[in-house]
Structure 1
């Protein structure tokens, strides 16, 4: 009797327990679905952030690449412009050098023409003076000395000597330069005339005489503009004669005494190429 009364109660209890378990499962499943949905949303947001970051990074890389390309283009343009400007400056320096050389030649020719004109005027004036006046002037000189004949000016003689040198007329060139030294010993052309005489000797192969005159130029006119040139030509002549130690000593003298001259650079280059 008692068992019969307990049976319904046990059945009710078991049914209630089963119902609670199913409800818990549904709750758990709901929580899982919610968690998955939340994770999916988080993954989607993270994916969007990564995509945005990648897009921003790509844009930055593109900007940097464009900047680098622009800098490279500017650098290339700058290099091209710089090369062009340097070339233009070089051309202008060459033109300036040519103009300076032409100016020096023009001035030398002008002075020579002026001296020649003056000589012709003096000769013409002499030729128009009455013979009696000339005789009275000559008789007034001590010992009845004759009038000194007029000669070409130093620039005329120097130009004549240069022309003869260019034509390899060594003897005629020496005659013109020697006449300049004799007639105009105080002229500023004297150092150049001496160097011209040395060049004439050197040109015809008489190196001993040429070397001797080159030494005279340097010893008598060490501050002349032709002194380093004469010294450099002397060194080259000594080297051609096989006198290498003397040539080296002379080249070193050029570098030491005339460091700012063009010949100093040439001498330094020669010393580099011909070590002792």
Structure 2
């Protein structure tokens, strides 16, 4: 008997793979390769001279430290917000859930201007902190505020589905065996959400590294104080130093690719773990 061939909605593997590679090459690989091609024009000595200058190194320091701090803050509060949205019912829940995605839709320049207005010394929130002699706008703390704003949705949207798919019966079983609420969270809930939490952290951190629009207003852009690496790239481009700009960008690109690769490893580990537990 002849086996009836199943009708496939999508084209075969060869055609699908061809279109996939074409799309990835045109919109990802070729544009990224230009960064390294432009950087190669400098030569190794000039390249290291550019990326190790005092101003560039300080810009890297500001970008990496503030991005790390913002990602850690988002991990804590993103987990809390996800827990509230999944485990509790309250008036305005859907509205709050929709507002989480607002940083995705809001233009970054608008976000930067709004945050600067709020957190400046004359702003609504800035006035409160100014009483305690805490300055937020035009300081690294202001950069962290902006990066926290744009990175929060990544953590929430990674953790929220995992919490929704968790079976409450497992938690109830642990509680019936005498485990406290804290023990139930650390022994039962936390191991399940850890991969998603790490993935959200990596996404928020990688996104913060390349953020420009929402930061440039609230940072103040003072050299050796609040100047970020993306601003250094724009400064070199305005000076027609394309090779120098791509040299700074190449370092940022390598770091971002590293974290994206880490995200893929975490997701793969999470999937394997889920299959083993089933």
Question: TM-score over 0.5 for the alignment?
Answer: no
Higher-helix-fraction structure: 1
Q: TM-score range by the shorter chain?
A: under 0.3
TM-score of the two chains, using structure 1 as the length reference: 0.25
